[in-house]
Structure 1
Amino acid sequence: MMTSQTHDFTADAGARVRIEALAPVARFSLRVRAAGRPVLGRALGCDLPDRVGETARAGGRVALCLGPDEWLIQAGEDEADAIARAGADAYAEAPHALVEISDREVSFRVSGPAAADLLATNCPRDLDRLAVGGATRTVFDTAQVVLWREADDAFRLDVWRSFAPHVRALLEIGQAEIAAGL
């Protein structure tokens, strides 16, 4: 027998997994050779980790090592000009490329006891191997993302703005499937 009854699966899923858009932040892509890493770390006020996937925090600034000579720097929106000036001031001592990419990406937080299950629907990474406090560049479906593990049951995805509606839609579909017990 067919019915016209409807059910809002996302309301039930909120207890198991939540999706939220996060406030904008200042973001910078930094490329510098190993010899210049300590200079830029001091200039930016945050150590630059030397292992891919590691993060370092100082005050409100975060540095994520994405590659042997590549870091993602994040801070409060109001710190963008100070970070750009600090990079410019350090250039003579440590040549580098520091590019503001704040408008390029948006962030979502996925949290709750089923957060890893939701992300696993479209992410090929073994999330159990991503330590709390660590982050990695990966894909979600076909979109490149930076995936941060904030806690055992909380993750953040940084995704290019143009892919954000696609990623958000996939997250919401997965959230509804989890609520339906699929």
Structure 2
Amino acid sequence: MLLANHPLLGKTIPGDTASRLSIRAAEDTARFSLRIDPAAVQAAGAAFGAPLPTRIGGLVEAGGRTALQLGPDEWVLLAPVGESDGIADAFAALQEPHSLVDVGHREVGILVEGEAAALALRSAIAFDVEAMAVGTGCRTIFDKAQIVLIREDKNRFRIEVWRSFADHVWGLLQAVSREIALGI
């Protein structure tokens, strides 16, 4: 969480009115990596305070909390920063074997919004971003940086990227936004 050291603090790429592309740093959030047996998903959801999805790529948002299933026994959990300790305490009391790692210090979020959002992402992601369903997410590569990509809405994506790669991803998004604005 280390908001004071956020590499993208205060940065925005406004895009232009023709493409209606906006790229900005996402508000800081509590972030956890959860590994647990899928048979215990209901208990984990109770500890998290929101249901967990039960299919890979599935996304559930409830009560300001977001859960994304990345693998058969792996989830990314996002919540308001102030709820981090409560979530950790709830999982500490969970009577199921699991691994909950606070990765809030490691990652930052970037929001890519507008009609040209998928086009901007397509510039550095090797799969068909347009085919990604709303309300899903995946781990993928943006240029050479590993990211988690979440499609929140038709024209709104969230990138979760390691803090050390944030400037690299940001710079590529900035370059592609200029190309989109110029119609290149």
Both structures adopt the same fold (TM-score exceeding 0.5): yes
Q: Which is worse superposed, 123-132 or 106-115?
A: 123-132
Which residue, out of 1, 18, 34, partners 1:30? 34
Q: For 1:131, give the aligned amino acid.
A: A
> 1:35 Cα deviation (Å)?
2.1
Q: For 2:54, give the aligned amino acid.
A: D
Q: Distance in 1 between matches of 2:38 and 2:154?
A: 32
Runs of 4+ in 1 over 3 A off after TM superposition: none
Which residue, out of 107, 116, 119, partners 1:117? 119
Q: What do the CA deviations read for 1:30-81 (whole angstroms, capped 9, x no partner)? A: 0001222211111211111111110112201111000000000100000000
Structure whose alpha-carbon radius of gyration is higher: 1
Query: 5+ unaligned residues in a row in structure 1: which ranges?
Result: 1-9
Alignment of 1:113-152 (within 5 A): 113-152=115-154
Q: Distance in 1 between matches of 2:119 and 2:70?
A: 24
Alignment of 1:134-173 (within 5 A): 134-173=136-175
Map of 1:88 onto structure 2: 92
SS, match of residue 14 in structure 1: coil
RMSD (CA atoms) = 1.2
Q: For 2:48, give the aligned amino acid.
A: L
Query: 5+ unaligned residues in a row in structure 2: which ranges?
Result: 1-12
TM-score, normalised via structure 2 length:
0.89
TM-score, normalised via structure 1 length:
0.90
> 1:133 Cα deviation (Å)?
1.3
Map of 1:3 onto structure 2: none
Identity within the alignment, %: 46
Q: Distance in 2 between matches of 1:44 and 1:111?
A: 28
